[in-house]
Amino acid sequence: MVFIAADIVTETDQAVETLIAARLRVKYPSFEFIGEETYAAGTKIKNTPTFIVDPIDGTSNFVHGFPAVCISLGLVVEKQPTIGVVYNPFVDLFRKVLVTKLLSLSLKTLKKLN
């Protein structure tokens, strides 16, 4: 286990990120990939479709055996978030949100507040 500032990085974080990156690169070879564990300071998101992943969102929970852990994956197209996917393998919970749906929900909430 490696400690980086307040973040915990486990071998499992690195292995999951490597697995996700490899599978995405096979299926989407022209897309960019930014992972939490392999991110380099100064990396900029380009116009190219880009996957952004946190391989174990909730590493501290993972290390302590708590099931409140998920894989978070987003897709950015032309520097705009388009879809986010969250999966908790411990309870087999899968959620996705399209940004247009999220914006629609946000606009409805704002209208109710006004």
Q: Domain residue spans in the chain?
A: 2-113
pLDDT value of residue 114: 38
CATH number of 2-113: 3.30.540.10
What's the pTM value of the predicted model, to 2 decimals? Answer: 0.77
End-to-end CA distance of the chain: 49
3-state DSSP call for residue 80? strand
Q: List pLDDT tens digits, range 91-105.
A: 998 888 777 655 555
Q: List pLDDT tens digits, range 49-61.
A: 999 999 998 888 8
